[in-house]
Every structure is written in structure tokens, then in C-alpha cells.
Structure 1
Amino acid sequence: MQIRVYYEDTDVGGVVYHSNYLNFCERARSEAFFKRSKNPVLEDGHFVARKVNADFFKSAKLGDMLDIQTQLIEMKAASFTLKQTIFRDDEKIFELEILLVHINFYAKIQKMNKETKDMILSLFEE
């Protein structure tokens, strides 16, 4: 997924503010659902971030076109881990590993049913 860096994404010097890389990755994950006509909120719950590990390699700047690539790293009974990498042209500038946990509407961790697991695989497996 491609995203352009807008003024609202940057600090006064035109450099992307560090937390906005997380927003860009969130947008890419949401787009994966929307592209396949899926709502990220499921009938039996939704996903929340449990753990995030981020590496910042270079700064993006105002006007840059960024490409966010997402791949499934691991699938468990109630969670999955994604690796998301942001590139400017062919240069890696940011990488994120995020553990997403499936919870019910009472905020309790819940195993994913087969349909949900299959959906996640279809969205993020290469």
C-alpha cells in the first residue's frame, strides 16, 4: 500500500513524527481488510495490539511516497504477528513487528474460529 506524507504527518522541520509510522502501518492493515470487503470488527470480537517492536532506519519527509508491505510471521490460537516494512523508493526506512490479539466484546482474549483464521491467512499470507 502506498501513502504520501502530508504536512500533518510531520514536525516543524518537515520530518515525519515518530508515532506516525505506527499510524501508517495501522492504515495498511485496515486497507488489507477493506480491499477484500471485510470489516476489521468481527461478529465475535476484534483485534488489539498487544506488543509492538519498531526499528527506525531513516526519516521520511514531507511529500515522500511510502510503500508499506505487510507479511504474516506467526499465527496462534488467539493471536497473530505481522511484520510491516516501510520503504521510500527501494530503501527500507522503518520496520515494525506487531502482535495482534483477538478479544471478545468483553475485552477477554478469545481463540479465533476457523473462519477468522482463514480470513487472516488470506489477507496477509504471501
Structure 2
Amino acid sequence: MPIRVYYEDTDAAGVVYYANYLRFCERARTEWLRSAGFEQQRLLSERRIAFVVRSVGGDYLSPGLLDDALHVASTIESLGGASLVFVQNVMRGPELLFRGRFVIACVNLDKKRPTPIPADMRAKLEELVQA
């Protein structure tokens, strides 16, 4: 997913503010799920499930700068019963700026508890893990 660094994304020195890498990755995961056929709003309203961040770890390797054209690459590292692990790289051309690892839990909105990933979603996600 392409990202342009705007003034609002930077600190006073014109460097991408560290927390904004998490925002970039959130957007990329949402668009990744959409491209796999799963829109977040439909999951919320029709299935009463949401995917929430359970834990996150990241390595900041090089600064993004004002007006940079970045790209967020998202892949599934592993798939559990009620969770999946995304690895996401924020790149400027071939240069890796940030690498994040996100544990995402599938949660039943009514019970506010983890719930198994629905079978149809699991089948599609399993295809993408192997790809």
C-alpha cells in the first residue's frame, strides 16, 4: 500500500513521528483484508467480529521524511485459532525504514472475548499464508 508522508505525519524536524508507522500499518492491514474480500465494517455489522491488536513490536531502522513516497508490505507470518500474526515492512524504495510484528486477535463484539476465526475467512487466510 502506498503512503505519502505529509506534514501532519512528521515531528518538528520533518521526520516521521514514530507512532505514525503504527497508523500506516493499521491502514495497510485494513486494505490487505479488504483485498482478500473481508471489509471491516461488514465484519462488524454482519458477523459481530473485529480484529484487534493484541501485541505489537517494531524496529525503527531509518527515518522517513516529509514528502517521502513509502510503501507498506504486509504478510501473514502465522495463523492461529483466534489470531494471526502480520509482519509489516515500511519501505522507501528498496530501503527498509520500519519492520513491525503485530499479533491480531479475532474478537466477538458481543462477548468482548476472543473467538475462532470464521471457517471461510480461515480458508482464505490459509491460502495467503502459504502464498
* TM-score calculated relative to the size of structure 2: 0.88
Question: 114, 121, 125: which one pairs with 2:119?
Answer: 114
SS, match of residue 38 in structure 1: coil
Partner of 2:101: 97
Structure (1 or 2) with the greater helix fraction: 2
Partner of 2:15: 15
What is the root-mean-square deviation of aligned Cα atoms in Å?
Answer: 1.6
Partner of 1:24: 24
Question: Equivalent residues in 2 for 1:1-126 (5 A)?
Answer: 1-41=1-41, 42=43, 43-105=47-109, 106-121=111-126, 126=131
Distance change >3 Å, CA 71–CA 125, structure 1 → 2: farther
Report Cα offsets for 1:38-63 as digits up to 9, x if no partner: 31242141111001010000000000
Report Cα offsets for 1:47-83 as digits up to 9, x if no partner: 1100101000000000001111111101010000010
CA distance in 2: counterparts of 1:121 and 1:9, whole angstroms: 34
How many Å apart are 1:122 and its aligned residue?
A: 5.3
Distance change >3 Å, CA 119–CA 48, structure 1 → 2: same
Does the 8 Å contact 2:52/2:106 carry over to 1? yes
Aligned residue-pair number: 126
CA distance in 1: counterparts of 2:96 and 2:3, whole angstroms: 15
Identity across the alignment (%): 33
SS, match of residue 19 in structure 1: helix
Question: Structure 2: where are the runs of 5+ without partners?
Answer: none
CA distance in 2: counterparts of 1:89 and 1:115, whole angstroms: 35
* TM-score calculated relative to the size of structure 1: 0.91
Does the 8 Å contact 2:32/2:74 carry over to 1? no
